[in-house]
Amino acid sequence: MDIDEQILALMAKKLEGQANEAELSQLQAWLQNSEAHRVEYAKLASVSDNINALLATPAFDTNAAWIKVNTLINNPAKANSPKPAFLNHLFYYKHIAAAAAVALFCIAGFYLWNNSRASLQAFTAANANQLITLPDNSTVLLRKGSTLYYPTAFAAKERRVELDGEAFFNVYHNEQQPFLIITANAKVRVLGTSFLVRSKNLRDEIVVITGKVSVTDKEKATNQLLLAAGQMAILQRDQFKQTAIKDSNYIAWKNGLLEFKDASLPKVLEDVAQYYDVPLELAASDSATVENIHINVKFQRQSLAQVLEEIRLITGLETKTENGKTVFYVK
């Protein structure tokens, strides 16, 4: 079942013995509200008891280990100095208490995760692009090979989904219930708009077609961009940037159209490779020669073989296969 984050925090504090009267009263009201609530609390309490039992079992000389680590951190030169006996107990109880607190919050974190993705239904577009209608009537065109995780009914505060792969979202407008997409690197928040999200190979791209979208780095919440129509964000490792959309090829997999106007050959090959999900390259020895080639061409739902042949005829280049890749080179 879905458990509110605030309730999870109250449960953890109660099991730690750190909850005040107001918090205990709030938790008690929640427990009395439903038998299912009491069952979930009992599960968490049981795990907590098991952890406390493990912490109480001396598997090794915890006192000596903690004193040694603490000494090395604070004063490496005196690592071998004798310590008063009472410090052993001080460090022991200090770190055991800290470990217990961390353990409880980890349990709460696990429950929070378990009640997020684990409680969502997964839909994978296995053999072709698939159109999904969400509980709020928003629609998602899921690209072949991609997976969307979403609930049977959205929570009152937000509409949250998770994406592995690529999808085009057309979100039903609701100011009181923001729409949130979780990807590998980002949190994408919208009220109502149409946009594309691509999350693949630890790289996220968010392309806005209409409306506005807020994009936040999952690892650093202060990294945030507000995108308007015609803009996109790119997140990859330390890269987090905003740029203008220069063509419509980002949604080519949706409408079947690849269009190039005075586009460089590397750009053409990059977009064709993305659309057909195949590796294409320029021969390293010829890259300086062919990078200045620019192309005007349009491909509408053509086969890969037809597209490669047209590029070959337009540029005068030849193709060969190396290590599973199609390589363009100067004859």
158 alpha carbon, distance to own chain's centre:
17
Question: Does residue 128 share a domain with residue 89?
Answer: no
Residue 71 pLDDT: 53
Domain boundary among 244, 266, 299: 244
Does pLDDT of 64 surpass 70?
A: no
The pLDDT confidence band at residue 44, using thresholds 50, 70 and 90, is confident
Question: Does residue 265 share a domain with residue 236?
Answer: no
Mean local confidence (pLDDT), 111-132? 77
Question: Does residue 228 share a domain with residue 156?
Answer: yes
The pLDDT confidence band at residue 89, using thresholds 50, 70 and 90, is very low
Does pLDDT of 77 surpass 90?
A: no
Domain boundary among 197, 222, 244: 244
- Domain range for 98 is 5-114
DSSP letters for 239-261: EEEEEE---SGGGHHHH-EEEEE
Chain mean pLDDT for the chain: 80
Mean local confidence (pLDDT), 46-63? 53
Question: Does residue 296 share a domain with residue 274?
Answer: yes
Q: What percent of the chain clears pLDDT 90, i.e. is strictly above it?
A: 48
Question: Does residue 234 share a domain with residue 193?
Answer: yes
Residue 235 pLDDT: 92
95 versus 3: which is more confidently predicted? 3
Residue 52 pLDDT: 54
The segment with the largest mean pLDDT, out of 86-100, 182-196, 281-295, is 182-196
Two structure tokens written together for 246? 């220069």
DSSP state of 31: H
Does pLDDT of 275 surpass 60?
A: yes
- Please tell me the least confidently modeled range out of 111-125, 133-147, 187-201, 238-252: 111-125
Question: Does residue 321 share a domain with residue 256?
Answer: yes
Does pLDDT of 295 surpass 50?
A: yes
Measured in degrees and rounded to the nearest 5, phi and psi for residue 62 equal -60, -40
DSSP state of 287: H
The pLDDT confidence band at residue 78, using thresholds 50, 70 and 90, is very low
Q: Round to whole Å and give the CA distance between 38 and 168.
A: 40
104 versus 181: which is more confidently predicted? 181
Q: Is 20 helix (H, G, I), strand (E, B) or coil?
A: coil
Report the b/e string of 128-166 with b at 16+ CB within 10 A. ebbebebeeebebbbbebbebbbbeebeeeebbbbbbbb
- Please tell me the least confidently modeled range out of 21-35, 235-249, 262-276: 21-35
Question: Does residue 95 share a domain with residue 22?
Answer: yes
Number of domains in the chain: 3
Mean local confidence (pLDDT), 227-248? 90
Domain boundary among 85, 114, 143: 114
Q: Round to whole Å and give the CA distance between 186 and 164.
A: 12
Mean local confidence (pLDDT), 308-321? 93
We report the CATH number of the domain holding residue 262 as 3.55.50.30
216 alpha carbon, distance to own chain's centre:
11
Question: Does residue 183 share a domain with residue 134?
Answer: yes
How many CB atoms neighbour CB 68 within 10 A?
A: 15
Q: Round to whole Å and give the CA distance between 102 and 96.
A: 10
Q: Round to whole Å and give the CA distance between 175 and 173.
A: 7
We report the CATH number of the domain holding residue 230 as 2.60.120.1440
The pLDDT confidence band at residue 13, using thresholds 50, 70 and 90, is confident
Residue 2 pLDDT: 55
Question: Does residue 128 share a domain with residue 238?
Answer: yes
- Please tell me the least confidently modeled range out of 71-75, 244-248, 252-256: 71-75
Q: Round to whole Å and give the CA distance between 273 and 30.
A: 54
Residue 216 pLDDT: 92
